[in-house]
Structure 1
């Protein structure tokens, strides 16, 4: 801006006049720039909201594209006193009569009693074998029963034995227990002396205190033996954990499709779809109550998304026995374009046609969940539709910034030109005023002329 003040020659406020003229010229354009910039930034935010909503919707589709989601089973027991049961996706529906005849137990063996658990036993070696795997304990001359116990429990080569000392009426005894149950995990101990004595060999002549046992259960009168109280795949896909044995008690196991789990997945899908549609409607619709239009109202992008979604939701899909729609399993579209679930229809469909519902959603490439996942991916993937829209808006913002800068230069030039013009006018007016004053002075000095001031 040129440095000037109130016109010296004319007495005019040149600063004020120029400022007013520049403001009148620039204000409408600047206001439009601000409006456009706000609109573009709002559109970027709206596209971000769409991308987030679609990504969250796509996450809920993951399980529905997996056929195993629909093959899950659940188990129930008539009583839980004697065993518990869990199933995996390979389990087959059925009912079974179970009896727990015997629990698996670990073998326990005891050493010969000694007079003092802290007294030296003598030098030697103890070989401990469990199910064909053995390790050795070297006993020093001053090692006591307690020292041997600690060496067994801390040995890096221990093959499955824990040791403790019981102080009985006959004196302390070292008790060894197999860490695994079952008759295959029996303990064999051999003690040998290296100092010519018999302390080690005599002390570690072991006596069985508790025999190893295998678990025994019957399934529909078929006997099953297990070395562990966890019995796997005695029935395909079923794992039992045995708790208590009783030959006179029967427990009924039922394995059946986990329709409640599938129903939960479908409800989650419906909720996520409705959230997505609500987001789209909010960005592209008109709120009559607030008289506010969505930032993307009239934009082809949300209209295209809604059209694609509604088309996929209303389409029918081939299954092994029939063509199914969402509506045929109790998931219908409301007037607002969201989904709602009729629980009774859905429950009935799950009970009678779970495999068909699985095909409706999870058939590779052609199932509903796959179609929706592909739709979502086209919008949110790197370089996808929403990234392209973001790039377009960014380019518009960049062009707007360039236009602002060009307009600012134009206004600076306009302001400079006005100052030059008004300053030149001020000089002319000042010169005329000076000439007028001089002429008046000369006239006043003529003989016979009476001054106005007099």
Structure 2
């Protein structure tokens, strides 16, 4: 006969032992999975938004920087030129474009420097000793530089190296030819950059003793060049400069004087840009549309939440698109017939992309090529005439400014990323505690079932004994 106790134990499977470990594991898993899935789903979306916002900001940076680089190139700023580079050559300086060109230049005289040569010593080399003592250079303004000559620099090369290390404005070199070895000293160009040399020699018969020069040639020292300023005439006005490289005669233009040619006029000018501004604007529209289409995809509403763009509803990106869409109506120039991109045929579509009316642009370029060029790429950007690259830089800076919608969105999603990580960490702690709690409950149950099983065994033995006795 089957007892009631036996039926209960059999139903609980106590006879073969309950796998409490697997039971607890399954219960914890069933509790954890829906909560973890909800957090990780939101975490994945948030990570995608962080990546998309960073990509949008980076794309805007790349677009603005590329535009600035292109417009600053010689293809759109022009190049400086001289019709006789053997007399004077020119190059552009950074910061702006030259004004007042073309200009007429005459080079009356080159700037020169004081050059003094010592007498050649037959049989000497650069390492030959010249004697100890002191060597003093005195500039025209009275500044002195004194070099002590001892065992460490007692040679032609040693003295030359010591002079060059002082940065006194005077340089020295050792020259060895068929007649022997000598020292050549050279000052800076310009009439105000003369110098003299005085020496104090320990040995009056040494080479050093003969290196002094006070303005007059001697048996051991000869001046081969006197200091003088460069003299030029620029558009009929006479100027003098201490150097043959002149940066201050025409703004943003360096003039290098190569030889004097009194009576010969050199024309300095700026060549017109070789690349077409129309081609640049077409490329600008194409590149801009690539950026805007990517933003449109990222912010699309889709048919439902599963197909919506990852940045749908993000205010920072809406603000970014709004500011970009306004560039066609933003004044690039305060004067002239053409002041905005819209005036020359570039308009904003409803989706934020741009359309270029090539016929309208061609008409504008034909009617006022200089006005359109100065509007898009002024020689010097100003508040009222910023030009296209400066406008894009300004828009970029406004979009990415601190406390702006884009920055605030990035900060918000960064904070959410930390919060989701914390939620997962908290879930780990809670599930560990829950698992420990369940393990305790089922361990106690298993203990009680084991005791019940022992009692069952005892009762079954007693019943069997009773049955045997009755028989």
Which interval holds the TM-score relative to the shorter structure? Answer: 0.5 to 0.7
Match of 2:172 among 162, 167, 175: 162
Change over 3 Å in CA distance of 1:55–1:94 after alignment to 2 = same
Q: Which residue of the partner structure matches residue 325 of structure 2?
A: 314
Change over 3 Å in CA distance of 1:208–1:40 after alignment to 2 = same
Distance 2:423 2:147 in 1: 85
Distance 2:318 2:441 in 1: 56
1:233 paired with 2:241, answer no
In the TM superposition, what is the alpha-carbon distance from 1:239 to its structure 2 partner? 1.5
TM-score (normalizing by structure 2): 0.64
Answer yes or no: is the 8 Å Cα contact 1:75–1:87 preserved in 2: no
Distance 1:418 1:295 in 2: 48
Answer yes or no: is the 8 Å Cα contact 1:10–1:430 preserved in 2: no
Provide, for residues 67-110 of structure 1, a one-character-per-residue CA deviation record: whole Å limited to 9, x for no partner.
x989x965421554441322343532531233445433334344
Distance 1:437 1:139 in 2: 121
Distance 1:125 1:297 in 2: 77
Answer yes or no: is the 8 Å Cα contact 1:189–1:205 preserved in 2: no
Change over 3 Å in CA distance of 1:281–1:133 after alignment to 2 = farther
Match of 1:131 among 134, 140, 143: 140
Q: Which residue of the partner structure matches residue 394 of structure 1?
A: 418
Instruction: Specify every segment of 5 or more residues in structure 2 that has no aligned partner in the other structure, as ranges.
Output: 1-8
Distance 2:176 2:132 in 1: 22
Provide, for residues 312-360 of structure 1, a one-character-per-residue CA deviation record: whole Å limited to 9, x for no partner.
1222334523896555566666787566888995986751424598658
Superposed counterparts of 1:323-334, under 5 Å:
328=343
Q: Which residue of the partner structure matches residue 463 of structure 2?
A: 439
In the TM superposition, what is the alpha-carbon distance from 1:213 to its structure 2 partner? 4.8
Distance 2:280 2:455 in 1: 93
Identify the range of structure 1 (31-40 vs 255-264) with the bigger mean alpha-carbon deviation.
255-264
1:89 paired with 2:89, answer no
In the TM superposition, what is the alpha-carbon distance from 1:28 to its structure 2 partner? 3.6
Answer yes or no: is the 8 Å Cα contact 1:50–1:280 preserved in 2: no
Match of 2:110 among 103, 110, 123: 103
Change over 3 Å in CA distance of 1:99–1:282 after alignment to 2 = same
Distance 1:282 1:214 in 2: 65
Superposed counterparts of 1:29-428, under 5 Å:
29-50=31-52, 52-53=54-55, 56=58, 74-79=78-83, 80-82=85-87, 83-89=89-95, 91-92=98-99, 94-111=101-118, 129-133=138-142, 135=144, 147=155, 150-151=158-159, 154-155=162-163, 156=166, 158-162=168-172, 164-165=174-175, 172=180, 174=182, 176-188=184-196, 200=210, 206-246=221-261, 251-255=266-270, 278=294, 281-282=297-298, 296=310, 300-301=313-314, 304-315=315-326, 316-318=329-331, 319-321=333-335, 328=343, 345=361, 350-353=372-375, 354=377, 359=383, 369-378=393-402, 384-421=408-445, 424=448, 427-428=451-452
Distance 1:192 1:413 in 2: 99
Distance 2:224 2:310 in 1: 82
Which SS does the other structure have where 1:377 is aligned? coil
TM-score (normalizing by structure 1): 0.66
In the TM superposition, what is the alpha-carbon distance from 1:423 to its structure 2 partner? 5.4
Which SS does the other structure have where 2:249 is aligned? strand
Answer yes or no: is the 8 Å Cα contact 2:156–2:174 preserved in 1: no
Change over 3 Å in CA distance of 1:160–1:387 after alignment to 2 = same
Answer yes or no: is the 8 Å Cα contact 2:191–2:228 preserved in 1: yes
Provide, for residues 171-229 of structure 1, a one-character-per-residue CA deviation record: whole Å limited to 9, x for no partner.
65845442322444445557799989997489556444344454344433444433321
Which SS does the other structure have where 2:102 is aligned? strand
RMSD (Å) for aligned C-alpha atoms: 5.6
Which SS does the other structure have where 1:228 is aligned? coil
Answer yes or no: is the 8 Å Cα contact 1:94–1:254 preserved in 2: yes
Q: Which residue of the partner structure matches residue 6 of structure 2?
A: none
Distance 2:121 2:13 in 1: 128
Distance 2:38 2:260 in 1: 79
Distance 2:65 2:137 in 1: 52
In the TM superposition, what is the alpha-carbon distance from 1:442 to its structure 2 partner? 3.5
Q: Which has the higher strand share?
A: 1
Which SS does the other structure have where 1:209 is aligned? strand
